[in-house]
């Protein structure tokens, strides 16, 4: 009987350790996500101040259009701007957005045209 109690106690301790470890890892991942979004927001503000082509609504509209054409029928809850790469001029500017849905995530990379408009570079 003592061996059964020891084994049960060991299993309970392991379960508690796995639960706590998973909780800590989940919290850390959520903090990283929030930090990435906050960095992108700051970069967008700086880019907007220097170049008026960085319109949030235009970026989100372009990302939604890209998702509609590259992933027809895929439903997502929200689109988040996660990276802004504002280079001198407009030809090398990039914006990365992530659409989040029940079936996972999709990353949309937008690039600037010579005239300053946004076009799709990739959807993955």
For 39-53, write each residue's pLDDT tens digit: 887 777 776 656 666
Give the model confidence (pLDDT) of 65-87 as tens digits: 999 999 999 999 999 988 888 78
pTM value is 0.62
The secondary element (H helix, E strand) that includes residue 84 is: strand 78-85
The count of other CB atoms within 10 Å of the CB of residue 105 is 11
- Confidence check: pLDDT of 96 > 80: yes
Kindly give, in sequence order, each residue whose CB lies less than 8 Å from that of residue 8, ignoring residues fewer than 6 positions away.
none
Element (H, E) at 27: helix 2-50
């Amino acid at each position: 009987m003592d061996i059964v109690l020891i084994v049960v106690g060991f299993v309970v301790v392991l379960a508690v350790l796995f639960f706590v470890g998973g909780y800590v890892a989940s919290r850390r991942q959520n903090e990283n996500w929030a930090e990435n979004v906050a960095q992108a927001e700051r970069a967008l503000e700086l880019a907007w101040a220097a170049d008026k082509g960085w319109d949030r609504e235009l970026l989100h509209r372009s990302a939604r259009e890209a998702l509609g054409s590259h992933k027809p029928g895929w439903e997502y809850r929200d689109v988040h701007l996660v990276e802004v790469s504002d280079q001198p001029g407009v030809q090398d500017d990039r914006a990365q957005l992530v659409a989040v849905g029940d079936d996972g995530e999709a990353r949309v990379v937008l690039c600037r045209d010579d005239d300053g408009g946004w076009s799709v570079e990739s959807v993955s």
